[in-house]
């Protein structure tokens, strides 16, 4: 139990230190890689990936119902219906499709 707690604390420290320097795409990939490493090291399901994490080619996710697009890690993506999600590889793609940026995550 202590080993798992120490691993989790080390992960959170690495996450905090890396978030100040990382781009959103790198940040998502870093988190997913660390989750996999921790699960492999701990030998059981210590942490499971959040379902809102999307393929890394889709940095932006639009809501077809609201016409707003977000970074893939925005809190509103988790609240979005799966049927309303539209994936974009670039900000320009989302804007050209008629979507406007989220006022919270400001993509």
- pTM value? 0.48
d(CA 53, CA 65): 20
Give the CA diameter of the chain. 51
d(CA 13, CA 30): 13
Number of domains in the chain: 2
Each residue of 63-98: pLDDT tens digit?
999 999 999 999 999 999 999 999 999 999 999 999
Is residue 52 assigned to a domain?
no
Is residue 51 assigned to a domain?
no
Range of the domain at 89: 60-101
CB 91 within 8 A of CB 70: no
Each residue of 29-65: pLDDT tens digit?
666 666 666 666 655 555 555 555 544 556 899 999 9
Is residue 33 assigned to a domain?
yes
CB 84 within 8 A of CB 64: yes
């Amino acid at each position: 139990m202590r080993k798992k707690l120490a691993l989790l604390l080390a992960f959170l420290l690495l996450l905090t230190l890396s978030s100040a320097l990382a781009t959103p795409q790198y940040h998502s990939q870093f988190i997913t890689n660390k989750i996999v490493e921790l699960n492999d090291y701990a030998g059981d399901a210590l942490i499971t990936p959040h379902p809102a994490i999307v393929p890394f080619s889709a940095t932006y996710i639009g809501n077809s119902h609201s016409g707003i697009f977000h970074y893939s890690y925005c809190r509103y993506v988790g609240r979005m219906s799966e049927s309303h999600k539209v994936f974009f590889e670039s900000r320009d793609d989302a804007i050209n499709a008629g979507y406007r940026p989220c006022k919270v995550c400001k993509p």
